[in-house]
Amino acid sequence: MYARLHSENADNWYEDGKLRYNYDYPDATLRKWADGLKRAADENRADDALVFFNNCVGIQAVTNAQRLAAMLRETAPAVQVVGPALPRQASLFGDDF
């Protein structure tokens, strides 16, 4: 399962630049997503789900992802919530150094 969340503000969907992605999801909407993801897991309809927040003008995407993860941990502890892999600085000297 893959979901890409941009915004619920239809007035800005076809705007240029940052305005299109300037949106902060309310908790009620995030709760609906958490409930739907839990239901999909409970009914074995999805082995994996990727929820991608693309409302990235400021830090809305990060805070929305953190709030959704917290809701899932609270209501669906059996669902494993995994965040993005942290970037790793490449070594100038190779991996053996």
Q: pLDDT per residue over 6-23, tens digit each? A: 888 888 878 777 778 888
Instruction: Assess if residue 23 is contained within a domain.
Output: yes
Q: Which token pair is 15?
A: 């705007």
Instruction: Assess if residue 12 is contained within a domain.
Output: yes
Instruction: Assess if residue 32 is contained within a domain.
Output: yes
Determine the average pLDDT of the residues in 48-71: 89
pLDDT confidence bin for 65, thresholds 50/70/90: very high
Instruction: Assess if residue 87 is contained within a domain.
Output: no
pLDDT > 90 fraction of the chain, expressed in percent and rounded: 29
Q: In the predicted model, is pLDDT for residue 61 greater than 60?
A: yes
User: Which amino acid is residue 33, in one-letter code?
Assistant: W
Instruction: Assess if residue 48 is contained within a domain.
Output: yes
Instruction: Assess if residue 85 is contained within a domain.
Output: no
pTM for the full predicted model: 0.77
Instruction: Assess if residue 57 is contained within a domain.
Output: yes
Beta-carbon neighbour count of residue 74 at 10 Å? 9
User: What element of type H or E holds 51?
Assistant: strand 50-53
Residue range(s) defining the domain that contains residue 55 = 2-75
Beta-carbon neighbour count of residue 81 at 10 Å? 15
Q: How many folded domains does the chain comprise?
A: 1
**Adjacent-strand bridge partners of 52:** 4
Instruction: Assess if residue 70 is contained within a domain.
Output: yes
> Which alpha helices (DSSP H) does the chain contain, by range?
27-42, 60-75
